[in-house]
Homo-oligomer: A and B are copies of this chain.
Amino acid sequence: MAENKKNKSALAEREGVPQPTTLNLKVVEGLKKFRKKTPSVESLLKGILNQDQGALSQAITLIESTALKHQQQAKQIIEGCLPHANKSIRVGITGVPGVGKSTFIESFGKLLISKGKKVAVLTVDPSSSISGGSILGDKTRMEELVKEPNAFIRPSASGDTLGGVARKTRETIILCEAAGFDVILIETVGVGQSETAVHSMTDFFLLLKLAGAGDELQGIKRGIMEMADSIVINKADGDNLKAAKMAKNEFNRALHLYPAKESGWAPKTLLCSALKNEGIAEIWEVVSNYFETVKGNGYFQYKRKEQNKFWLMQTIESRLKSEFYANPSVKVELEKQLKAIDENKTTPFAAAEILLNLK
C-alpha cells in the first residue's frame, strides 16, 4: 500500500534517483515538449480522422491526463470521433504471465496486417501504476509489429483503480476506431477483475493457455472459462505438442459442459505456436467465423449496446460509492460498524442505516 501511494504520480517514482537513465530523460523531454506544444482540439481531431498516429497518440495522452483542461479537450475530441467509431472488431486477449501474450499478439497482428487490416494494440493493466511498468511498456517485445505503419501499440494508462484504467482504454478504443483501425486487440494480464473489464469492452474474448502437466482446469480463475469465446493453447510445438493436444481435448470437454452462450457461439479450443507462426491463420479463421455468426444473428449490435449501458450504470454506481465512502465521517463510522458486526453486536442492515444517515 505504501508503495502504491508513493507511485501515484508518474514523476514521483523518480524522486531521489540521482542519475536518471537515458530512457527517463527522453520521457521527461517528451513530456516537456508535449506540455509546450499541445496542438488544438481541432487539429488533433483532424489528424486522427486523417489517420495520423502522432495526433492519435497525443489525443490519448489527453485522455490519460488528470489535468482538468486536458480532460475537457479529450472530451471534445472523443465527441468528434464518435460518429467515426464503432466500426472495428474488438478482441480481448488474456493469459497468465509467461503464456506468450506478446509473442502471440506480434504473430497475430502481423497476419492481420498482411490481410490489409489496421491493428491497434491496447492494454488494461491496473497493476502498471504499482509496479511502475506496464506489460506492454517494453515495446521491443513486439519488435516487428511496432515497425509496421498499420500497427499502433499503446501501453496501459496508469491509474489507481481498474475503473479508471478501463475508462481510459474504452475512450482510447473510440479514438483508434476513428483513426481507421479496424481490429483492436486488448491485452490484459488478468490482475483482479481486469478480465471482466476487458470482456465488457470487447466483442470476442480469447484465453491463452499453456499445456500443463495433467489437470489443466484447476489453475483457471473462476468465471474466465465462461467468458472465453476461444481457448488457444500456445507453444504447441516440438516436445510440447502431445501435451497440448491432450489439453485441447480436456478444454473442449469442459467447454461443452458449460451452458450454451447467449451469442449462439460454441467456444472452441485451438493450438498454436506463436513463435513459429503456426496455427495463427486458423485462429483468425475462427475469429472471423465468430463475427460472421454474431453479426448475422444480431448479437454483435445487441452486445455493444448492452456494454454501453453497462458502462453507464457502472460509472454512475462506482462514483456514488466512491463519493459516499470518501466522506470522512463515513470512514470513521464504517470502522466502528464493521467491528460491531464482527462482534455480533449489530446486523448489517442496522449498521447500513447508521452509515447512510451520515450522507
Closest 9 CB pairs of A and B: A311-B348, A315-B352, A312-B348, A320-B320, A308-B341, A254-B257, A316-B352, A308-B348, A217-B257
A78-B347, A352-B316 in contact; A309/B324 too (CB < 8 A)? no
- The answer to whether A312 and B338 have CB atoms under 8 Å apart is yes
Cβ of A116 within 8 Å of any chain B Cβ, yes or no, is no
Cβ of A220 within 8 Å of any chain B Cβ, yes or no, is yes
Chain B nearest Cβ from A14, distance in angstroms: 30
Chain B nearest Cβ from A290, distance in angstroms: 20
- The answer to whether B259 and A347 have CB atoms under 8 Å apart is no
Chain B nearest Cβ from A72, distance in angstroms: 11
Chain A, residues 67-101, CB within 8 Å of chain B (1/0): the string is 00000000100110011011000000000000000
Chain A, residues 204-216, CB within 8 Å of chain B (1/0): the string is 0000000000000
* Complex Cα gap A315–B337 (Å): 13
- The answer to whether A82 and B345 have CB atoms under 8 Å apart is yes
Residues of B within 8 A of A171 (CB): 347, 349
Chain B nearest Cβ from A323, distance in angstroms: 9
Count identical subunits in the complex.
Answer: 2
A218-B260, A257-B217 in contact; A82/B346 too (CB < 8 A)? yes
Cβ of A139 within 8 Å of any chain B Cβ, yes or no, is no
Question: A350 touches which one: B78, B309, B351 (CB < 8 A)?
Answer: B78
- The answer to whether B344 and A259 have CB atoms under 8 Å apart is no
* Complex Cα gap A270–B312 (Å): 44
Nearest residue (CB) in B for A253 is B257
Residues of B within 8 A of A314 (CB): 348
- The answer to whether B86 and A348 have CB atoms under 8 Å apart is no
Residues of B within 8 A of A15 (CB): none
27 contacts between A and B (CB under 8 A): A75-B350, A79-B346, A82-B346, A82-B347, A85-B344, A86-B344, A170-B348, A171-B347, A217-B257, A217-B258, A218-B259, A218-B260, A219-B259, A222-B259, A309-B338, A311-B348, A312-B337, A312-B348, A312-B351, A312-B352, A312-B355, A316-B355, A316-B356, A317-B317, A317-B320, A317-B321, A319-B352
Chain A, 194-242, CB within 8 A of any chain B CB: 217-222, 226
Question: A311 touches which one: B174, B218, B349 (CB < 8 A)?
Answer: B349
Chain B nearest Cβ from A242, distance in angstroms: 21
Cβ of A342 within 8 Å of any chain B Cβ, yes or no, is yes
- The answer to whether A341 and B309 have CB atoms under 8 Å apart is yes
Chain B nearest Cβ from A298, distance in angstroms: 14
Chain A, residues 285-323, CB within 8 Å of chain B (1/0): the string is 000000000000000000001001111101111011100
Question: A305 touches which one: B174, B257, B342, B345 (CB < 8 A)?
Answer: B342
Cβ of A141 within 8 Å of any chain B Cβ, yes or no, is no
